[in-house]
Structure 1
C-alpha cells in the first residue's frame, strides 16, 4: 500500500503542533476530521503511527511517515514552481536542528543569506550538538548541525569545522577554590581543586567541560556542576563566579584581556561539527547546504 501524501501531511502537522485540535486549526478542519485521517492512514499501513497523548508522540513507524511527508512536500513545491503553477497552502517549512553555540556565532548568518534568496519558512530546533541528530531520526528535522559523522537514515554528511572553547573562571571563583589571584597567576589550578570546585554545563548532555577535565586526569562524574542552558547566560554565569566553564573564544577573549576572567590553562576543546541533510533531490536543500557549508568554512576552525 503506497503512502497517501495527503494523510501523511496531516500526521506531520499533528506532530508539529502537538495536538489534534491545533493541527485542525492549522488545516481549517475539525479535530474529528483530523482523527479520521489518522485512523485511515494507520489502517492503510497496518501500523500504529501516533500515541494520542498531550503532546502527541510519533511511534517509530510514524517517524518514518513524517520524514516522507516532509520530503514529499518539498519536492511537490519545487515541481509546481518549475511548472509555473502556484503551490497549495503554505511555503515549504525547513526544520533544522542546531546547537546553541552555532546559533550564537555563525549559523544565523548562513541562514540570512539563504533566506534573502528563498521564501522557505525556517524552524530552528535548538539542541546540544551531541543530540541534534535525533531530530533527523524522528523526522522532526530535514537537516542538522551535529557532532556525529555517522549519517542518520536517509541523510548525507559534510564536515563543517570546529568551534574553539577555552577554560576560564572569574577571579572570585579562583580566590575561593585556588588561592589569591593576580595577573601572573603564580598559583596554578590543580586536579584536587577541580574535583571540588563547581563547573557550569549547558545541560546534562554537554561534554565540553567533562572532556577538558578528563585530559587533566580528573573524573568529571565526581565533580559538582551547575546547569545554565544558554550560550550567553552560561558566559555571564562564569563571569559572575558561579563556576568555571568552557567558553567560545569570541566570548572569552575580551573578558580574559580585561582581567574579568582568568584562564585555567589546558588545551582548548575543539569539537568537530558536521552538517547532516536529507538525501532528497531538492534545489532548496542543495542551496541551504551550500550556504551553511560555505559560511562554516569561513567562520570555523578548519583542521
Structure 2
C-alpha cells in the first residue's frame, strides 16, 4: 500500500471536515496552496483522484478509503499518546465521530456518552441519520462507529447487537374521534406525521394494518422531539418510540391505535475492527446504556 505522511493524512482530514481548501489552511496554519499541493501529492503517489474540487469538496470512493485510514491513524496516535502519559489529563481532547438515528439520539444514546466523555476527555461529532442509512457514513470513513439496523458487518468492521427499539402507533383522542370513528380501516385516509422521506415506519404500519400505504396528507417533521409534539398536538397520527409516548398513553393524552401490535426495530452497534482503548470504552458505554433502555433481541 502507498504510504502517506502524517501531514498529508491530517490535511485530508481537515479538508473534508472543513469543506474548503481555505478553511483547512486556516486550521493547519498553512496556505491554501500548501493544502492543495499535499492533496495533489497524495493523488499522484496513489494514482487515484481523492477529492472532487467542489464547494464543499467531496470525497471520491478512493478518497473515502484514504480518509478512513487517516482517521484510524489519528485514533491510534491518540491511544498511544494516552498510554504513554502516566498522570494528568490528556494534552487535548480526542474527537470521536459516530452516526446515530434521530430517535436513539433523542431518547437513550446521549446518556451513554456523558460519563465516558468526562472520564476520558473525549469530544463527539455526532452524525444524525436514519438507522438504515448510518452504515453509509461508516463505509465512507466519516464515522468510527454507528447505530444501525444492519446486522451484517461491512469490510473492516465488527457488529454486536444492542436491542430492540419499540415503537407504538398513537394519536390524540380528538384525532381518533374525527378521523378513525370506525377504527383502523380508515387509517389510510387520515393525516399522518412522517419524519422525512426516508421514514418508512408509518407506511410499514399501514401495510400491516390497512393493507396498503396511505395517500393521505403528510406532515414532514424532521426532528424527533418536534415529531412527537406534532402528534401530541393532533396534526396527525404517528409511530413513536415508547420513551416518547408511554407516559402520554397512561395519562390519556394519546391513544394507542393497535396496542397488541407494537413495531420493533432491531439496533446494532457497528464499529471499526480496530484495537483501540478509546473506541472500546465508548462501545462499552453504548452497550451498557442500550441494555438499560432497549428491549433485548430475541434469541
Under TM normalisation by the shorter chain, which class is it? over 0.9
**Range moving further from structure 2, 117-126 or 223-232:** 223-232
Match of residue 284 from structure 2: 290
User: Residue 187 of structure 2 contacts residue 214 of structure 2 at CA under 8 Å; is this kept in 1?
Assistant: no
Query: Match of 1:182?
Result: none
Deviation digits for residues 29-86 of structure 1 (CA, Å, limit 9, x no counterpart): 1111111111111111110000111111000000000000000011112223323499
Name the structure 2 match of 1:39.
40
Does the CA contact (< 8 Å) of 2:170 and 2:240 recur in 1? yes
Q: Which residue number in structure 2 is paired with residue 274 of structure 1?
A: 268
Once residues 272 and 140 of structure 2 are traced to their aligned partners in structure 1, the CA distance between those partners, rounded to angstroms, is 12
Q: Structure 1 pair 47/87, CA: closer, same or farther in 2 (3 Å)?
A: farther
Distance 1:220 1:135, change over 3 A: same
Aligned-pair CA distance for 1:254: 2.0
Deviation at residue 223 of structure 1 after TM alignment: 4.6
Structure 2 counterpart of 1:189: 184
Paired residue secondary structure (1:273)? strand
- The Cα shift of 1:104 comes to 1.4
> Which deviates more from structure 2 when the two are superposed, residues 273-282 or residues 111-120?
111-120
Partner of 2:145: 143
Q: Which deviates more from structure 2 when the two are superposed, residues 36-45 or residues 3-12?
A: 3-12
Matched, 1:99 2:93: no
* Number of the residue aligned with 1:227: 220
Structure 2 Cα separation of the partners of residues 210 and 35 of structure 1: 47
Match of 1:252 in 2: 245
Question: Structure 1 residues 67, 281: closer, same or farther in 2, change over 3 A?
Answer: same
Shift of 1:87: 12
Separation in structure 2 between the aligned mates of residue 23 and residue 90 of structure 1, nearest angstrom: 19
Q: Which deviates more from structure 2 when the two are superposed, residues 278-287 or residues 203-212?
A: 203-212
Q: 1:173 aligns with which of 172, 175, 185?
A: 175
Shifted more, 61-70 versus 279-288: the winner is 279-288
Distance 1:135 1:267 in 2: 32
Task: Give the Cα–Cα distance (whole angstroms) in 2 for the partners of residues 258 and 83 of structure 1.
Answer: 55
TM-score with structure 1 setting the length: 0.91
For the residues of structure 2 that align with 1:237 and 1:88, how far apart are their CA atoms? 44
TM-score by length of 2: 0.92
- Report if the CA contact (8 A) 1:77-1:87 is conserved: no
Compared with structure 1, are the counterparts of its residues 90 and 50 closer, same or farther at alpha carbon in structure 2 (3 Å cutoff)? Answer: farther
Say which of 124, 134, 139 aligns to 1:132: 134
DSSP-derived class of the 2:263 partner = coil
Whole-Å separation in 2 of the counterparts to 1:44 and 1:236: 53
The aligned length equals 294
2:210 counterpart of 1:208: no
State the match for 2:7 in structure 1: 6
Aligned to 1:239: 232
Task: Provide the rounded CA distance (Å) in 1 between the counterparts of 2:89 and 2:60.
Answer: 30
Unaligned runs of 5+ in 2: none
Equivalent residues in 2 for 1:147-166 (5 A)? 147-166=149-168
* Residue of structure 1 equivalent to 2:29: 28
SS at structure 2 position matched to 1:220? coil
Task: Give how far 1:27 is off.
Answer: 1.1
Report if aligned partners of 1:3, 1:45 keep a CA contact under 8 Å in 2: no
Identify which range, 82-91 or 60-69, moves more after superposition. 82-91
Give runs of aligned pairs for residues 68-79 of structure 1, distance below 5 A.
Answer: 68-79=69-80
Aligned counterparts of 2:210 and 2:189: Cα–Cα separation in 1 = 14
Deviates more, 1:72-81 or 1:257-266: 257-266
For residue 270 of structure 1, give the secondary structure of its aligned residue in structure 2. strand
Which piece of structure 1 moves more, 214-223 or 279-288?
214-223
Residue by residue over 1:145-190, the C-alpha shift from the partner in whole angstroms, topping out at 9 and shown as x without a partner, is 11111112211001000111100112332233123xxxxxxx4221
